[in-house]
Chains A and B, each alone.
Chain A
Amino acid sequence: MDFATALQILDSTVRLSTPLLLACLAGLFSERAGIFDIGLEGKMLMAAFFSAAVAFVTGSVWLGMLAGIASSMALSALHGLASITFRGNQLISGVAINFLAAGLTVLIAQDWFSQGGRTPSLIGQARFEPLTLPLADTLQTVPILGPLYHELISGHTLPVYFAFLCVPATWWILYRTRFGLRLRAVGENPAAVDTAGISVIGLRYAAVAICGLLCGIAGAYLATALQAGFIKDMTAGRGYIALAALIFAKWRPWYALMSCLLFGFLQAVALRYQNIDLGPVTLPVQFMDALPYILTVVILAGFVGRAIPPRAGGEPYVKER
C-alpha cells in the first residue's frame, strides 16, 4: 500500500466516522444521564430528511440544518416524554422512534415531492461545500506533511470539523462543568441529585435535547454534505453502529472518538479492499462489515476490560414519597 492510497483510506475514514461520532456523542449525553437511546438511527433519519427537504425548498443549507435539528429534537422530546415524564420503557420508546422515522420520512417525502420517498437533488447553496483550509494549496508541495494536510485535514465540509471539535467540548462539559457533574450523577444516582435539590427531570430533558441536537447535525451531514438529497433509509444502520461504538468506548468522549475512527476505518478499508489477502487466509468483505459488532461483543464479554453502563441507565426516576 503506497502513501497516496493510505491517505485516501484515511480521508474516507474521516468522512465515514463523522456521522458515527456525532451520533455516538449524542448517545453519550443521553445515556450518561440515564436515558438509553436506541432511537439514534431514527433521529438521524428524520433530520436527514428534513434538512434535505428544507434545503431544497429554501435553497439554503443552513435553514435545512436548522430544520433537521428541530425535527430530531422533536423526536427527542417525544422520547423524553415517554421515558422521563411517563416513565415508559426507554428501549421500546427508542424502537418506536426508529419505526416512526422510517415510515414518516418516506410518507412526507412522497407527499411533498412525489419522487417516491426521496427529495430532489440539492445543488449550489443547498449543500455543504468542502472547505479548503488556509495554506492548504501552498503547502501541498511539502513532502509527507503537505499532502497529509491538504488531503486529510483540509477539504472536508463544515460538520466534519464541528464533529471533531465536539469531542473536547463534550469532555469539558461532562468533566469540568457543574452541569456535567450533575448530568453524570443523574445517570448514576438520581436520588442523590434529587436530595441536593436539583431537578432530575430537568437534567434528563436537557441531556435528551443535546442528544437531539447532535443527531440532527449528523442527519444533516448525511443528506446535505455527504449526499445531495435524502433517500429512504439512508442512515443504513449507522445509528446502531454508533451505539456499538458507544459501548466500545465505555461511555467516554475520547474513547468515543477512537472507537468511531476505528469503525470508520474498518468501513473505509472494507470499501477499498473487498477481500483482504493476508497470505494464507483471505478475509472476506463480510467479515470486515461485521467486525464492529464482533468487537463490541468481545468488549461486552469482558475480554478487553469491562464496559459498565451508567448505573441508573434505563430506569425511570421515581421520587420516594
Chain B
Amino acid sequence: MTIMKTILGAAASVALASGAALADPALIFDLGGKFDKSFNEAAFNGAQRWAEETGGSFNEIELQSEAQREQALRRFAEAGFNPVITMGFAMADPLSTVAPDYPDTKFAVVDVTWLDVPNVRQIGFAEHEGSYLVGMLAAMASETGTVGFVGGMDVPLIRHFGCGYAQGAKAVNPDINIVANMTGTTPAAWNDPVKGSELTKAQISQGADVVYAAAGGTGVGVLQTAADEGILSIGVDSNQNHLHPGKVLTSMLKRVDVAVYEAMKAGEDLETGVFTLGLAENGVGYALDENNASLITDEMKAAVDDARQKIIDGEINVVSYYENDSCPALTF
C-alpha cells in the first residue's frame, strides 16, 4: 500500500512537472463568440497565427453566460495553462478575484487597464485615435453632411469609440451632424442585427450617408442595411471591408490579433502591467485594401495619414471619453 502510494505520488508529481514545463496558453473569448467577424475573431486569428508559426497549441473557450467567466478562469488556471488570455472589459471583475489566487499563472486581458493585480498583463487600445481617423474619412466621404454611429451595448468603451469618431468628423467639417445610437444596455445588444438594421434605417432617414458600427455581431446588420440602401458603412475591430466590397468605406482596425499573438509568443515570460496600444504602436488604424481602394481618394488618404502623424507627434490631441466621462464632440 505504501509503495503503491509512493509510486502514484511520484507519477503524479512527474505528470505535474511535465505539465508545467509544457504549459500551453489558453484563450477565453467574450460573449460575442469566436467568429464575430470582429473583436473575438481578431483574437482567434492572432492565436491561430501563433499556433501556425510555432507549431504550438492553445486551449480556448467561448463563454455562454456571465456566470462562466470566473469558472473558466479558474479551470484554466487550475489545469496549468499559462498564460491565460481573456477578452473584454467584462473580465475585469472576475480577474481581480481569480488572479490573486494563482500568483504563478500569468493572465492577460484585452480592453481592461485599471486593475491593480500584479500578475495580469492589461492591454488597452487607443480606440479613440483609430476612430478619429475613420471619423475623418466618414466626414470626407459624406455628401449630406450627416454621419451616423451605431454602438453595441451602451458602455464607456463604446462611447469611447463614438467620441473619437465624432472628433475626427468634426475636425474635417465643424458643422457636421452626427447621429449616434446605442443598440441596447444588455449583452444581447452585441447580437441583434435586426435592431442594427432598424437603427441604420432610422439614421439614413435622418440624412446619414456613412454609418460607423462598433457593435460586434449587431454590426453585421448595420453593414448589410447600409449596403442594401446604397450608403457607406465603416466596420470595426477586424478588417470588414470584404463583407460588402465597394460599400464598406473602411474599417477601424484594432489589432487585437497582434496583442494576443505577442502574449502567446511571450508565453510564461509574459510581461505584466498596463500597456496601451495606439497609432504609434500600430495598435489601431484604418483598413485600406482592394475592396475599398476606389472609395478612398488620394486626398482623403493624404489627409488621414497627415492626421495620424500629428496624433503620434502630439500635435493633435484626441480627447478620450475616459478622461472625464464625457465627450466634447458628442452627447450620448
Across the interface, which residues of B come within 8 angstroms of A229, CB to CB? 220, 224
Count: A-B pairs, CB below 8 Å: 76
A5 within 8 A of B: yes
* Interface 9-mer from B80-88, B167-175, B177-185: B177-185
Min Cβ gap A238→B in Å is: 8
B199 within 8 A of A: yes
**Are the C-beta atoms of A274 and B182 separated by less than 8 Å?**
yes
A89 within 8 A of B: no
Residue A268 contacts which of B34, B192, B198, B332 (CB distance < 8 angstroms)? B198
Q: How many residues of A contact B (CB 8 A)?
A: 32
Across the interface, which residues of A come within 8 angstroms of B193, CB to CB? 227, 231, 234
Q: Which of B182-213 contact A (CB under 8 A)?
A: 182, 184-185, 188, 191-195, 197-199, 201-202, 205
Residue B181 contacts which of A222, A232, A271 (CB distance < 8 angstroms)? A271
The verdict on A272 contacting B202 (CB below 8 Å), with A115-B35, A237-B188 known, is yes
Q: Which of A261-287 contact B (CB under 8 A)?
A: 267-268, 271-272, 274, 285-286
Look across to chain A and name the residue whose beta carbon is closest to the beta carbon of B201: A12
A100 within 8 A of B: no
Residue A271 contacts which of B188, B191, B199 (CB distance < 8 angstroms)? B199
**Are the C-beta atoms of A231 and B182 separated by less than 8 Å?**
no
Residue B33 contacts which of A4, A15, A116 (CB distance < 8 angstroms)? A116
Across the interface, which residues of B come within 8 angstroms of A118, CB to CB? 35, 217, 220
Across the interface, which residues of A come within 8 angstroms of B37, CB to CB? 116
Flag B238-261 by CB within 8 Å of A: 1 or 0 each: 000001000000000000000000
Across the interface, which residues of B come within 8 angstroms of A236, CB to CB? 188, 191-192, 194-195
The verdict on A4 contacting B195 (CB below 8 Å), with A271-B181, A274-B182 known, is no
B237 within 8 A of A: no
A233 within 8 A of B: yes
**Are the C-beta atoms of A232 and B191 separated by less than 8 Å?**
yes
Look across to chain A and name the residue whose beta carbon is closest to the beta carbon of B185: A286
B41 within 8 A of A: yes
Q: Which of A251-309 contact B (CB under 8 A)?
A: 267-268, 271-272, 274, 285-286, 289
Across the interface, which residues of A come within 8 angstroms of B181, CB to CB? 271, 274
Q: Which residues of A pack against B, CB within 8 Å?
A: 4-5, 8, 12, 15-16, 106, 110, 115-118, 121, 222, 226-229, 231-234, 236-237, 267-268, 271-272, 274, 285-286, 289
